[in-house]
Amino acid sequence: MGAALPVDVPSSPDAALPGGVPLPRDVPLPPDAALPGGVPLPRDVPLPADAALPGGVPLPRDVPLPADVPLPAAGHHVLRLTGVVRRFGGMTAVDGVDVTLAAGERLAVIGPNGAGKTTLFRLIAGELRPDAGTIELLGRDVTRMHAWRRARLGLSRTFQVANLFGRLSVADNMRLAIQAGRPSGWRSLRPVRGADDVATSALDTLAQVGLAGRQADPVASLSHGEQRQLEIAMALCTRPQVLLLDEPAAGLSAGEREMLRRLIADLPRTLPIVLIEHDMSLVFGLADRVMCLHQGRPVVVGTPDQVRADERVQAVYLGRSTHA
Ligand SMILES: Nc1ncnc2c1ncn2[C@@H]1O[C@H](COP(=O)(O)OP(=O)(O)O)[C@@H](O)[C@H]1O
Ligand SMILES: [Mg+2]
């Protein structure tokens, strides 16, 4: 077959786009990635009927949509992590995390680089399996459940490294995310048919993130901030019940960060959110509760005021002046 992926880049078999399209997640594909010789990657080619994930796991074709998943009542947990541990070789990246996310809650996860924040997200999303502990999503034990199945249950995430198809239009990226969220997702992927056949709901979602009227634009022509807005739209268009945002403000200008803060603030209060972020105005402006991780362990979990004032947080994180 074509060019092999770089073998030294760690990848997980369960990596997935919002909605569960399996992709080698740890390989941050540049938007315009091409095969040697400049041949564009075959993104729009329909998959063969028997396409499978590595290991022979069949692609999620006929998984029922989560219409039957009962919505957690107010005050109930949508997400519960108990004693979650994840090691890489001799290093413990996540070291016994207990945390819950209540219905409608916004939880921020902060901590220095290498604290284990992204690893925690990958464990929640199902891209990694914990070495110990359990993860419950919407009342189900999903500890060993595949990422695409968790996505079907209503878990949606964005990534620290943008993951958009730069040569495709805004509408086509939305279409891919929507189709990925359907039981027949892969089967219905087909060459692009133009911008008008995007569902009205996708146009509504684009408007919700401030990208009204941009559906025909190539993604590569969007600003950095607009690409973040699109990523959030793609995460939202599967109508998630829990949203994970990994450093959405990274690399954005002050103006773009403020736009993003408003966008997230305006999301429905019924949608529970876990937000990893270094931008403290976003964290303290958006979160109901903040967890500070250090060396894989929660140092403090509390209200923004409690966390801001906590000496341990000051010591491991807030006292620092720069973050890569
Ligand atoms: N796939 C992996 N293989 C080996 N080590 C990893 C892998 N992913 C993360 N790590 C290590 O785990 C630690 C936590 O990383 P990460 O969760 O990315 O931190 P954060 O997102 O808080 O910056 C770091 O020391 C990182 O090098
Ligand atoms: Mg990270």
DSSP characters over 113-142: TTSSHHHHHHHHHTSS--SEEEEEETTEE-
Do residue 233 and residue 112 come from a single domain?
A: no
Q: Is 33 domain-assigned? A: no
Q: Which ligand is nearest to the CA of 93?
A: 1
Domain closes at, from 224, 239, 254? 239
Do residue 121 and residue 170 come from a single domain?
A: no
296 lines ligand 1 (CB under 6 A): no
Task: Please give the distance, rounded to the nearest whole angstrom, from the Cα atom of residue 186 to the centre of ligand 2.
Answer: 29
Output the pLDDT for position 316. 85
Contact between 93 and 216 under an 8 Å Cβ cutoff? The reply is no
Do residue 149 and residue 173 come from a single domain?
A: no
Please give the tally of structural domains in the chain: 2
115 lines ligand 1 (CB under 6 A): yes
Do residue 131 and residue 277 come from a single domain?
A: yes
Nearest protein Cα to ligand 1, atom 25: 114
Order of all β-strands in the sheet with 140-141: 91-102, 77-88, 132-137, 140-141
Do residue 198 and residue 315 come from a single domain?
A: no
Do residue 251 and residue 302 come from a single domain?
A: yes
Mean pLDDT of the 161-187 span: 76
Output the pLDDT for position 17. 52
Amino acid at 86: R
Task: Please give the distance, rounded to the nearest whole angstrom, from the Cα atom of residue 168 to the centre of ligand 1.
Answer: 31
User: Which of the residue ranges 41-55, 230-244, 258-272 would you say has the lowest mean pLDDT?
Assistant: 41-55
Q: C-alpha angle 103/107/111, rounded to 5°?
A: 160
Output the pLDDT for position 62. 37
Q: Is 14 domain-assigned? A: no
Task: Please give the distance, rounded to the nearest whole angstrom, from the Cα atom of residue 48 to the centre of ligand 1.
Answer: 34
The pTM of this model reads 0.75
When the pLDDT of each residue in the chain is averaged and rounded to a whole number, the result is 79
What's the CA gap between 283 and 265, in Å, rounded?
11
Q: Which residues are bridge partners to 270 per DSSP?
A: none
CA 96 remoteness from chain centre: 22
Structural domain of residue 290, as residue ranges? Answer: 64-154+241-324
Q: In terms of DSSP H, where are the helices of the chain? A: 117-125, 147-153, 170-180, 185-188, 200-208, 224-236, 254-265, 280-286, 304-309, 311-313
Burial classification of residue 24, based on how many CB atoms lie within 10 Å of its CB (0-12 exposed, 13-18 middle, 19 or more buried): middle
- 191 pLDDT higher than 70: no
